[in-house]
Structure 1
Amino acid sequence: MSEIEVRRLSAKEAAASLDALANILIDCVENGASVSFMAPLARETALAFWQQIANSVAANERILLVAEDASGRIVGTVQIVTAQPENQPHRADVAKMLVLSAARKQGIGARLMHAVDMHAQQAGKTVLVLDTVTGGDAERLYERAGWQRAGTVPNYALMPDGRFCATTFYYKQLAPAPREA
């Protein structure tokens, strides 16, 4: 496996990475990932989605992490949605964990999820939640990363081809970030 670096993108970097992020989203949808979009996913739709995410990063509503290969190409991404209701300042949602199909099975997802824990802790988040397609590969990834299954909702979403799919919800408790002396 080539060297992979996981890093946080600034709003400016996110805006400059729209094409690469759109490529990952389109690839994932084309390969059957239920990630809120239907197939075929138009490039304009993917670009508009990532522009909204870049705007959200600029507004400090979320953290955008990417995994880059040795050549600097983005091969994976995940988001930490930090903007939560007033009574949930300690919580964040993990969203759009995506890895290019050609780059899977190389530990990129595990590296991204490790970075999620670190960045969420630094942001003062101690409870994380996410959802994923029931029975998919992501379930094993999340469980190996210490996530706890909360429950499953049948027919919660659609696969990109229009079939219903069940969704499993997960949570993870994090220790508060250590305070600097």
Structure 2
Amino acid sequence: MNRLFAFIDRLAERNTRTLASRTSRRGMLARIGRVALGSALALPVLPFDRTSQAHAAGAHGAAGGKKKPGTTDCDYWRYCSVDGFLCSCCGGSATTCPPGTSPSKVTWVGTCHNPADGRDYLVSYNDCCGRTTCGRCFCNTNHGDRPGYRLGVHNDVNWCMSNDSSMYHCTVSVIVGVAEKE
């Protein structure tokens, strides 16, 4: 057994010395860099948050210039926990789904503060289902969002899963009540 290990050691040493005599450090670093870059391009890219790019591109539906909070702006108070495309930019309104879609049968609920009257409201976020994704006015505010293992308080779920068509189109925010003060 020791002979086998000695043979493997000599073979590895000989090959390493031959490689070292034929290549330079810079050449080896260049090859390692090419392999690292090539493998990084070949591997699938993990998901990442693109909301800052959407903000920079003005994808929230504001009509140029200075934005004022409204139903097509992520800063609108009732969108404090929304994660999706606003139906008010997709043919519907802040509270109604666009034609050809239907509201999800299950929703997530957030508590949002209205600065105009100083009250907190319970807001139901309904996904509108039945058509392909709208792609306009994306908001991802996540105020009060919880980890994905608590389904009822997590907004990164396709809530259209309970409908006949599980295709997500956009999201509406319907006020369902006033939050009680403790």
TM-score (norm 2): 0.28
* Bigger strand fraction: 1
TM-score (norm 1): 0.28
